[in-house]
Amino acid sequence: MKTTFSKLSIILLAVASITFFSSCSKDDDDKKMDEPKNIVDVAVADARFSILVEALAKANLVSALEGNGPFTVFAPTNDAFTALFSQLGVSGIADLDAATLTPILLNHVVAGQVKSSDISTGYAATLNASGPNGTNVKVFINKGSNVMVDASKVIIADVMASNGVIHAIDKVILPASVVGHAINNPNFSILVEAVVKANLAGALSAAGPFTVFAPTNDAFSALFTTLGVSGISALTAEQLTPILLYHVVSGNVLSTQVASGAVPTLKDGSSLSLTVGSMGVTINTNVKVIATDVQGSNGVIHVIDAVLLP
């Protein structure tokens, strides 16, 4: 009897132990499932971001995006990366090195947690510090019926993570040059038309750096009224070229570096007269700088309210 009882006790103890440890294991798994996922975890768990995850690993950015942040990531889908590969003429991430990938990937990350309800139209500095002198390149966010980030569209918003938020986008955002910034902002559509007609797009997409005083569409409309013309189509490339070059200065001159005085432009022999006062910066007496420091990969744009004439 004692032997039988002892065997039975051992069996019951073993069953209890198995049940206890199984329960503990299940509790641990449940805790792991309940643990908040960081931005990288969320991307890894979503098959639509597998190429993005591969790119982050190759660029050694995984640990950075696992940090405290918070970060806002505009995350390209696999389809977006596939379109980029076709554009670049490569087969995939394997054909791109870390030095190439890093500024592109960081161009999709903004400091802070910006939910869709917090987004407004304007420029945002990214973590991409590949601009002239280590400046952070900006993206243009345009909130209308859709949210556009440069030329990409947000297709899924507010994927929350423990250290920020992800918004999925349909196109990879390449760092914008000064020409790219003008193209991405509809308020500069006439300026873009003029630059294209004057065959200056290639020159202003070069390494530079350039500082561009960019007239808005309203500024050009006022000029057309003054000249008595209907638009850019009424002006020749020869007429447009000196006007446009008169808006460009060599170097990446930020608003904090602007000082009163004469500044030579890319139009031979011509200078701008800058006046820095308590109300801001004025050019040639009556043209006002209305927005500053739109940082691009090859220079910076300052927005002005009138077209400058040599």
Q: Do 109 and 220 sit in the same domain of this protein? A: no
Q: Specify the pLDDT at position 18.
A: 46
Average pLDDT along the chain:
90
pTM of the predicted protein model: 0.86
Is residue 197 in a domain? yes
Is residue 47 in a domain? yes
CATH number for position 142: 2.30.180.10
Residue at a domain's end among 142, 169, 196: 169
Is residue 102 in a domain? yes
pLDDT 10s digits, 260-296: 999 999 998 899 999 998 889 999 989 999 999 999 9
Name the residue range of residue 75's domain.
39-169
Q: Specify the pLDDT at position 82.
A: 97
Q: Specify the pLDDT at position 56.
A: 97
pLDDT 10s digits, 19-43: 444 554 555 544 445 567 999 999 9
Q: Specify the pLDDT at position 285.
A: 86
| Token representation of residue 88 | 């670049």
10 pLDDT band, cuts 50/70/90, is very low
The answer, yes or no, to whether residue 219 has pLDDT greater than 50, is yes
The answer, yes or no, to whether residue 7 has pLDDT greater than 80, is no
The answer, yes or no, to whether residue 13 has pLDDT greater than 70, is no
Burial grade of 31 (CB within 10 A; 0-12, 13-18, 19 or more):
exposed
Q: Percent of the chain beyond pLDDT 90?
A: 85
234 backbone φψ class: left, alpha, beta (φ>0; ψ -120 to 50): alpha
Is residue 289 in a domain? yes
Q: Do 132 and 249 sit in the same domain of this protein? A: no
Domain count, the chain: 2
> What is the spatial distance between Cα 20 and Cα 148, in angstroms, rounded to a whole number?
54
Is residue 19 in a domain? no
Q: Specify the pLDDT at position 269.
A: 85
Is residue 146 in a domain? yes
**Rounded mean pLDDT, 242-249:** 97
Residue 11 phi/psi, 5° resolution? -65, -45
Q: Percent of the chain beyond pLDDT 70?
A: 89
Residue at a domain's end among 139, 169, 199: 169
The answer, yes or no, to whether residue 86 has pLDDT greater than 60, is yes
